[in-house]
Structure 1
Amino acid sequence: MITVYDVLRRPIETEKSRHQSGKLHQYVFEVAPQATKPQIKEAVETLFDVEVQKINVIVAPAKKGRRGRGRRMVVRKAQYKKAIVTIRADQTIDVFEGVK
């Protein structure tokens, strides 16, 4: 059984997610791979005290990365699951505020 505190792993802070949080009231989180939309909604509403309107879930595929200078070492970056959470227009999530 997955708890509310295990669903959300970390906020994803990129230039695109910063724009989405400011203009579109959408916040991006990395979530547990087995988390479902109802579990994500419950976790966000419980932890941040906001009303969730919509959730989009994306599984980012695994990628090959390169490391090293001389002999190029090919490493595999694991896949992860992220959720784009849309909240009411008059609410904000404080985790994303003040990050530059």
Structure 2
Amino acid sequence: MKVLYDVIKSPCLTEKASLAQELHGKVVFKVHPEANKIEIKRAVEELFDVKVSSVRTARMRGKKKRVGIKSVGRTSDWKKAYITLSEGEINFLDEL
């Protein structure tokens, strides 16, 4: 089992993530690529003291980036998790 702080890397601060938070009450995190839904749920519940109702994950491919004139590199692949909180936990969303 991974340490809780290794599972959740950071909140995903994008326009799509903030829209999901406002409209659907979901919180989006960047998570460890090998973390499963059970580990993610346990980490969020223990770190933020909230009740999670569901977890959905998506693997994101890294983008191609130009390095200099001739070389082309890539950013790392990563994973994000859409966390749906229970009904009484909406106050948590304002704290993020």
Instruction: Compute the displacement of 1:89 (Å).
Output: 3.1
State the TM-score, normalizing by the size of structure 1.
Answer: 0.83
Task: Please state which structure has a larger fraction of its residues in helix.
Answer: 2
Residues 2 and 66 (structure 1 numbering): CA distance in 2 closer, same or farther, change over 3 Å?
A: same
SS in 2 for 1:55: strand
Aligned residue identity for 2:88 = D
Provide the rounded CA distance (Å) in 2 between the counterparts of 1:72 and 1:17. Answer: 35
Percent identity between the aligned chains?
A: 37
* Counterpart for residue 56 of structure 2: 56
For structure 2, list consecutive stretches of 5 or more residues without a partner in the other structure: none
> How many residues are paired up?
93
What residue number does 2:73 align with? 75
Structure 1 position 59, deviation (Å): 0.8
Q: Partner of 1:10 in structure 2?
A: 10
* Aligned residue identity for 2:85: I
Query: Which range moved further: 58-67 or 14-23?
Result: 58-67
Q: TM-score, normalised by structure 2?
A: 0.86
Partner of residue 24, structure 1: 24
Q: 1:39: Cα distance to partner?
A: 0.5
* Greater than 3 Å deviation, 4+ residue runs: none
